[in-house]
Structure 1
Amino acid sequence: MLADAPVTTLLPVVDLDRARHFYEQSLGLRPVGARADGKFIYACAGGALLALFPRHQGTRAEHTALSFQVPDVEAAVRALEAAGVVFEDYDLPGLRTEGHLCVLGAERAAWFKDSEGNILCVHQDLA
């Protein structure tokens, strides 16, 4: 029923200006613009949209809220670090990163937080 419906990911932000700076300057996302309800929209690949919405409390999620599939995760990590993105490192049961990267099943992934504390990821599918 929804297989052909466009997808919008909603992320809460405390400071919309700070978040916009991060998403535009650090991640290089393409702004679409503000909506009357206060959301700010970005266009992503495949017709997907990302909507930042102001929320006084910010995020409460302790999981990955959004993951970007990239062709070369190591190159993406280097490029994002050069843009000021700080990657997380984990040493947990079932999740241990080395050089910010971890192999999980059929993908390699690295995690970082946006300016508002949302957990984001870049991942590469493995053949």
Structure 2
Amino acid sequence: MVIPRDVRENILGTCLDILPLSNLPWCIIGDFNGLLSSIDKKGTNPHPHYLIQGFRQAMMDCGLEDLPLIGHLFTWIKRNLPNNLVEEWLDRALVTKDWRHLFANCLLSNGVAGKSDHSLITLKLHANLSNLLG
């Protein structure tokens, strides 16, 4: 399913509305179309700093943190010409602190991109049973 750009850009805004209504642990995985740092992009034209700051602030406002990614750092690639390659880390797993505590041993890995311009990210859960039982 393709989510329109304006909806993707409002996902964290929607989370800000929804997350306070629940005390459950949250994990949100997908293409956020946002970068958290300038090192999240390789290639031409640096990502605007105000967009990086806005994405970081929205995550903080939602109480979400980024899970580390194992494997290739970039999850999206665009090849215009052989010498014009752009790669970005757009696909992420954002979690609440409670979720991270519950699944402290989880692994988020980056696979190989097939026919898509996005690579497959896989989240492997390893629940900490002592955290589940309280």
The TM-score normalised by the length of structure 1 is 0.27
Higher strand share: 1
Higher helix share: 2
The TM-score with structure 2 as length reference comes to 0.26
